[in-house]
């Protein structure tokens, strides 16, 4: 039955059935065949989303939307230009820097691509850069969104695995910086092929002005991280505080935020949050069905037979998640697999914070990976680039990001140093 459940879910998703419904259909069939009371289906689904910590999700989503509405994306882009626009391939570096800074507001690669993406690509094309280069930089830089705190995928992983969300947030800091540095190095290399390589003259006065205008947005991640570390509020409460702060910023912004627009942002947040919660609820039922068939024990036995080396296990799991990320939505992957994988990690002595950040990196890269990467589709829509063309232009960036993931796997302290230094782990 286990084999048929897994094949069933994959088949339904390949038929464009929404992830939540694919999980629900297969789980219901399992309940009927095994004669498990259907009342348990409802109980397991409710239990899957019965978490106080999950309240952080809509708050962080709303924070990103409010900051976007306040004009934060434009101001962050201007700050990126002022800081690194003087380098060779200036707008490409500014693109990466803007995504790095915006990551501390949105916590999502999709939010980065949807908010900054169109602005960045348009600015680069207007300056004379090729669309291929502009879209490649924009897509790759969006992947830093779920790594710099706050991070929606880290919240989901923290809930599924029982890992400290504060430690996960801090664990993403160094890998996020490493990603940005690697991408800026790639920009310097690829920009040599571009006709437009003008540099924006460095001017400290411009930096001060741009930084001053961007401060309201840049304060957001500090509110979240410092609040958690100081014990003033929990990760969930930090989401509420950040959302309230973003609302104040949006209301007093130069263009102001009307009541109708604010209501629309709340509605969008509710719809997106409901979609995430539905996936998590159905994934919880599916995971329970797997556990009922002793899938965790089977997985542990299989992996133990394959290797006894923790690093080898990490690379095997990394490869598995990379493949899954090409086809399945990240939140569904995490909520379905972590209850099965976590006992194996514990038995091998792999640190859950280290693995959580690696998983966030892989899931983030999955958003730009054909055939079903959601950031890929977002950028293809706003830039009118075909999926085959995107698959071609993103290849060097994928190789670069996979290299970063490999480095983070090999050196756990890149993840664990900051949480330990801050006393959060």
The token duo for 23 is: 């999980």
Q: Is residue 35 part of a domain?
A: no
The residue among 177, 175, 227, 214 whose CA lies nearest residue 410 is 175
Per the domain annotation, does 42 fall within a domain?
no
Tell me how crowded residue 381 is: count the other CB atoms within 10 A of its CB. Answer: 13
Average pLDDT of 96-119? 72
Whether 55 contacts 70, CB under 8 Å: no
Phi-psi region of 150 (alpha: psi -120 to 50; beta: other; left: phi over 0): beta
Paired tokens of 277: 């919660």
Q: Is 309 contained in some domain? A: yes
Phi, psi (deg, nearest 5) at residue 91: -70, -30
Domain assignment of residue 395, yes or no: yes
pLDDT, tens digit (0-9, with 9 covering 90-100), for 210-222: 888 888 878 887 7
Q: Which of 16-25, 42-51, 162-171, 370-379 bottoms out in mean pLDDT, i.e. has the lowest?
A: 370-379
Q: Which ranges in 145-258 belong to alpha helices (H)?
A: 152-161, 165-171, 173-190, 204-230, 235-252
Residue 417 lies in a domain: yes
On whether residue 122 sits in a domain, the answer given is: yes
d(CA 3, CA 52): 34
pLDDT reported for residue 212: 85
Distance CA 163, CA 360 (A): 13
Q: Residue 172: what pLDDT?
A: 92
Residue 5 lies in a domain: no
Structure confidence by residue, pLDDT tens digits, 62-95: 887 887 777 777 788 788 878 887 777 778 888 8
pLDDT at 398: 92
CB 164 within 8 A of CB 425: yes
Q: What is the mean pLDDT of residues 225-239?
A: 77
221: exposed, middle or buried (C-beta count within 10 Å: 0-12, 13-18, 19+)? buried
Residue reference for tokens 């989401």: 239
Q: Flag whether 47 is in a domain.
A: no
- Angle (CA) 234-240-243 rounded to 5° is 135
Q: What residues make up the domain containing 94? A: 12-27+54-421
Tokens representing residue 136 in the block: 């490649």
- Give how many domains the chain has, as a whole number: 1
- Residue 243 CA to residue 266 CA, distance in Å, equals 11
pLDDT at residue number 184: 92
pLDDT at 352 over 60: yes
Burial (Cβ within 10 Å: 0-12, 13-18, ≥19) of residue 72 = buried
The answer to whether 178 touches 404, Cβ cutoff 8 Å, is yes
């Amino acid at each position: 039955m286990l084999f048929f459940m897994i094949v069933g879910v994959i088949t339904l998703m390949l038929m464009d059935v929404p992830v939540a419904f694919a999980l629900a259909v297969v789980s219901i069939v399992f309940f009927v065949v095994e004669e498990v009371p259907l009342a348990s289906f409802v109980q397991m689904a409710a239990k899957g989303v019965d978490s106080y910590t999950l309240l952080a999700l809509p708050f962080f989503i709303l924070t990103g939307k409010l900051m976007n509405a306040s004009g934060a994306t434009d101001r962050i882009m201007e700050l990126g230009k002022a800081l690194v626009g003087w380098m060779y391939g200036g707008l490409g570096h500014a693109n990466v820097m803007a995504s790095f800074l915006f990551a501390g507001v949105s916590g999502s690669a999709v939010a980065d691509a949807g908010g900054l993406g169109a602005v960045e690509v348009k600015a680069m094309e207007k300056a004379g850069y090729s669309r291929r280069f502009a879209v490649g930089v924009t897509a790759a830089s969006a992947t830093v969104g779920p790594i710099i705190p706050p991070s929606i995928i880290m919240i989901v992983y923290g809930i599924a695995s029982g890992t400290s969300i504060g430690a996960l947030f801090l664990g993403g800091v160094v890998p996020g910086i490493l990603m940005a540095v690697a991408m800026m190095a790639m920009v310097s290399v690829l920009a040599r092929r571009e006709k437009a390589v003008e540099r924006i003259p460095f001017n400290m006065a411009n930096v001060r002005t741009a930084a001053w205008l961007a401060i309201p947005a840049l304060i957001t991640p500090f509110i979240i991280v410092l609040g958690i570390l100081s014990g003033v509020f929990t990760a969930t409460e930090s989401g509420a505080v950040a959302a309230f702060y973003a609302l104040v910023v949006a209301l007093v912004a130069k263009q102001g935020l009307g009541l109708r627009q604010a209501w629309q942002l709340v509605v969008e947040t509710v719809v997106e949050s409901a979609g995430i919660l539905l996936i998590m609820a159905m994934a919880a039922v599916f995971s329970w069905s797997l556990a009922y068939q002793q899938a965790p024990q089977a997985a542990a036995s299989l992996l133990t037979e394959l290797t006894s080396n923790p690093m080898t296990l990490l690379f095997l799991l990394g490869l598995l998640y990379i493949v899954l990320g090409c086809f399945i939505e990240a939140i569904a992957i995490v909520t379905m697999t972590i209850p099965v994988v976590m006992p194996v990690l514990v038995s091998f002595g792999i640190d859950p914070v280290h693995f959580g950040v690696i998983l966030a990196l892989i899931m983030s890269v999955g958003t730009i990976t054909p055939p079903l990467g959601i950031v890929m589709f977002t950028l293809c829509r706003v830039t009118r680039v075909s999926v085959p063309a995107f698959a071609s232009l993103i290849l060097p960036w994928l190789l670069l990001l996979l290299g970063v993931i490999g480095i983070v796997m090999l050196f756990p302290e890149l993840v664990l140093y900051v949480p330990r230094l801050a006393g959060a782990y």
